[in-house]
Structure 1
């Protein structure tokens, strides 16, 4: 059986950015558990948090763009170079199209975890 997965999205709260992100990441790395612990950080914190030994770090979002004239977009290869080893996509605060997800998947390494968040509509009773 695979280990349970615990994904902690740091979001963009002041208590989980910059030096606070590093502190939170160190706390996560120190937890003794059989679960796979993943810190999901802001793009600004990828480098510093991914330098923490024993902690898996994912990007909060990536865009299906290459390097070049894409101001404001989050280019996957740079995120990977800065320490992202996975990403979440289509979360409640940043919804994207299925085309965005498909195009992004084609740009990522085969072993790069991607959690695609789905929102299910409540079942209607007839």
Structure 2
């Protein structure tokens, strides 16, 4: 089970959260990664935690002022990137371009999708994984695996029908170890979460609780 912690733009200490995640990963043997804001990628990577970008743009090196270049993200220490998070939706053509840019730079990709139909469309682009996360559940503390488990099962089936090599992650409302177990039972191979760790008073304790059942 892969645990990807998205720090979004929360006013947390990214290095402290990353250090907690690195230690929790070492102690538990669970794969845990942290996705900070772009300006913090290098500092987070230096903690030793697996580091991911929150986004890369569908651009090549050159005259691209203001864009997030996949190669720069990789140079800063990132191993992968999110694309098309519900808080940063992109057009289908740009989504494909971002996945290709990430591949060019040697980055893993997780494409976010709202529902099983979008999961199937995203899987057709050939990312490493697709994360299904209904936007209405994001930040609520109510996981999709509990609110509507059929969405997760249908998402797994939709991805498998298009490309069995594409993993399916479960996002939105994930915050406890029980949520991870439920996601796994429904066929997900990873989870995407944010506030449960980024806004926790003690990120290490939150992570330990999260991975304890694993």
TM-score by length of 1: 0.83
Deviates more, 1:114-123 or 1:90-99: 114-123
Q: Quick check: 2:53–2:78 contact (8 Å CA) kept in 1?
A: yes
Is it true that 1:97 corresponds to 2:94 in the alignment?
Answer: no
Distance in 2 between residues matched to 1:106 and 1:26, nearest whole Å: 30
Counterpart among 14, 38, 63 of residue 21 in structure 1? 14
Superposed CA RMSD in Å reads 2.0
| 1:40 aligns to 2:39 (yes or no) | no
**Alpha-carbon deviation of 1:48?**
0.5
Q: What is the aligned partner in structure 1 of residue 177 from structure 2?
A: none
* 1:40-71 alpha-carbon deviations (Å, 9 max, x no partner): 11100001000112x10000010011222222
TM-score normalized by structure 2? 0.50
Please, which runs of 5 or more residues in structure 1 have no aligned partner?
none
- Alignment of 1:5 with 2:9, yes or no, is no
Look up the SS of the partner of 2:96 in the other structure: helix
**Separation of aligned partners in 1, 2:68 and 2:3:** 24
Say which structure is richer in helix: 2
Give the whole-Å Cα distance in 1 for the aligned partners of 2:103 and 2:46. Answer: 21
CA offset at residue 106 of structure 1? 2.2
Q: Which aligned segments of 4 or more residues in structure 1 are displaced greater than 3 angstroms?
A: none
> How far has the Cα of 1:14 moved from its partner?
1.0
Name 2:208's counterpart in structure 1: none
Gap regions ≥5 residues in structure 2: 117-133, 135-149, 151-214
Aligned length: 115
Cα shift at 1:78? 0.7
